[in-house]
């Protein structure tokens, strides 16, 4: 890649000591809450309410009863949300990565000039379908009707629209979708899945998470692809390779670091997502954040169970973050610098 840079000069001993002091403080700030979580998961209710005890074996007797309760007594109520979270988060992240990096590649390499009129027309037709739906027209009829209107108007006015939008406009529109507060979207999405009889299914969650994570993937990967040299692709095109083949065997392999970082990023979003899961699932497709939140039951928050749940929830992502930390910074940086 780049030629090796010269190393920075080492700081003076005094500066070094001060730096370590500050960094050590922040390490405590980060790690103490996690330590407290681990300690609390080993406590009985009496230990928790008896006052703060800090060291297992020293000022209280650790027990695995909370762990046993979560994994043995509540086995299915823990493992089902866990399986849901794993399946929904990984599936949605993989799909978002595939669709998003394809779109990002398109935006990085081909000039798109869609007519503004066509886009507005499409928007109008979607609005029409929504109005029809809210007047309780059945879904297939509404979709087909809107599609027919779109096709008819498009055919009639073909070639009259002059103004078109550019790649940058499309990319900005994509990322501007992150501005949409989920709360403005969630009730209509609820109604949509209700109509499709998909409420409380993993499919609904996967579809929602793919849509909400796609803009991030497109934004990060577009800049990544733009930073790759284009000559190799041109050579392959001269040799007769198709665009799909070029993308698969020439563009994707060197992009693995960016893909890994982006994947980790969207995976964490999907893994921890709360609001959509709260609205769209109730029992069967419930994910872990809801299980954690539900521990604040009628008897008040049960810290010992909650600590176990939070711990088993964060261990996989933390393990991944530690393993992939190098990729993470670079992948994020590329997107942020160009943005």
Instruction: Return the residues of window 271-310 that contact other proteins according to CB under 8 A.
Output: 271-272, 274-275, 288-289, 292-293, 295-296, 301, 303, 306, 310
3-state secondary structure the chain: CCCCCCCCCCCCHHHHHHHHHHHHHHHHHHHHHHHHHHHHCCCCHHHHHCCCCCCECCCECCCCHHHHHHHHHCHHHHHHHHHHHHHHHHHHHHHHHHHHHHHHHHHHHCCCCCEHHHHHHHHHHHHHHHHHHHCCCCHHHHHHHHHHHHHHHHHHHCCCCCCECCHHHHHHHHHHHHHCCHHHHHHHHHHHHHHCCCCCCHHHHHHHHHHHHHHHHHHHHHHHHHCCCCHHHHHHHHCCCCHHHHHHHHHCHHHHHHHHHHHHHHHHHHHHCCHHHHHHCCCCCCCHHHHHHHCCCCCCCCHHHHHHHHHHHHHHHHHHHHHHHHHHHHHHHHHHHHC
Task: Tell whether residue 5 is a contact of other proteins (CB under 8 A).
Answer: yes
Contacting other proteins (CB under 8 A), which of 66, 199, 210, 220?
210
Q: How many CA atoms lie within 13 A of 339 on its CB side?
A: 15
Contacting other proteins (CB under 8 A), which of 56, 62, 117, 182?
182
* Nearer to other proteins among residue 74 and residue 165 (C-beta): 165
* Nearer to other proteins among residue 283 and residue 329 (C-beta): 329
* Nearer to other proteins among residue 232 and residue 321 (C-beta): 321
Task: Tell whether residue 153 is a contact of other proteins (CB under 8 A).
Answer: no
Task: Tell whether residue 130 is a contact of other proteins (CB under 8 A).
Answer: yes
Task: Tell whether residue 4 is a contact of other proteins (CB under 8 A).
Answer: no
Contact pattern for other proteins over residues 37 through 76, marking x by CB under 8 A: x--x-------xxxxx-x----------------------
Binding residues for other proteins restricted to 99-128, rule: CB under 8 A? 99-100, 102-103, 105-107, 110, 112, 122-123, 126-127
Binding residues for other proteins restricted to 220-279, rule: CB under 8 A? 242-244, 247, 268, 271-272, 274-275
Site size for other proteins (CB under 8 A): 106
CA distances from 59 to 39, 56, 182 (A): 11, 6, 45
Task: Tell whether residue 170 is a contact of other proteins (CB under 8 A).
Answer: yes
Sequence-ordered list of residues with C-beta below 8 angstroms from that of 222, at least 6 positions apart, any chain: 104, 105, 107, 108, 171
Stretch near other proteins under the rule CB under 8 A, chosen from 70-78, 153-161, 186-194, 252-260: 186-194
Contacting other proteins (CB under 8 A), which of 208, 255, 262, 286?
208
Stretch near other proteins under the rule CB under 8 A, chosen from 25-33, 65-73, 74-82, 147-155: 25-33
Contacting other proteins (CB under 8 A), which of 1, 13, 26, 162?
26
Minimum distance of other proteins from residue 295's CB (angstroms) = 8
Task: Tell whether residue 32 is a contact of other proteins (CB under 8 A).
Answer: yes
* Nearer to other proteins among residue 75 and residue 338 (C-beta): 338
Task: Tell whether residue 181 is a contact of other proteins (CB under 8 A).
Answer: yes
Minimum distance of other proteins from residue 262's CB (angstroms) = 13
| 200 neighbors 284 (Cβ within 8 angstroms) | yes
Task: Tell whether residue 144 is a contact of other proteins (CB under 8 A).
Answer: no
| 270 neighbors 92 (Cβ within 8 angstroms) | yes
């Amino acid at each position: 890649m780049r030629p090796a840079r010269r190393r920075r000069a080492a700081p003076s001993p005094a500066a070094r000591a001060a730096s370590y002091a500050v960094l050590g403080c922040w390490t405590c700030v980060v790690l103490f809450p996690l330590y407290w979580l681990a300690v609390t998961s080993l406590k009985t209710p009496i230990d928790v309410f008896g006052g703060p005890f800090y060291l297992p074996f020293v000022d209280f007797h650790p027990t695995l009863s909370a762990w046993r309760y979560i994994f043995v007594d509540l086995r299915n109520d823990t493992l089902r949300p866990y399986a849901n979270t794993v399946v929904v988060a990984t599936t949605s992240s993989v799909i978002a990565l595939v669709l998003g990096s394809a779109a990002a590649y398109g935006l990085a390499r081909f000039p798109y000039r869609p007519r503004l009129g066509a886009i507005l027309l499409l928007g109008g037709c979607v609005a029409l379908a929504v109005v029809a739906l809210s007047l309780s027209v059945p879904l297939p009829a509404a979709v087909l009707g809107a599609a027919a209107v779109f096709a008819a108007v498009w055919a009639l006015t073909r070639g009259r629209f002059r103004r078109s939008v550019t790649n940058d406009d499309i990319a900005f529109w994509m990322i501007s979708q992150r501005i949409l507060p989920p709360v403005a979207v969630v009730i209509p999405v609820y109604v949509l899945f209700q109509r499709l009889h998909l409420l409380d299914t993993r499919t609904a969650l996967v579809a929602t998470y793919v849509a909400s994570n796609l803009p991030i993937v497109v934004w990060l990967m577009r800049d990544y692809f733009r930073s790759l040299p284009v000559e190799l692709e041109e050579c392959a095109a001269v040799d007769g390779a198709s665009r799909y083949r070029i993308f698969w065997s020439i563009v994707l392999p060197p992009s693995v670091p960016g893909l890994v970082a982006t994947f980790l990023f969207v995976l964490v979003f999907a893994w921890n997502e709360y609001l959509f899961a709260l609205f769209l699932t109730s029992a069967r497709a419930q994910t872990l954040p809801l299980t954690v939140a539900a521990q604040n039951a009628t008897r008040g928050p049960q810290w010992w169970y909650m600590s176990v749940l939070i711990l088993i929830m964060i261990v996989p992502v933390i393990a991944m973050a530690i393993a992939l930390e190098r990729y993470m910074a670079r992948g994020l940086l590329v997107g942020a610098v160009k943005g």
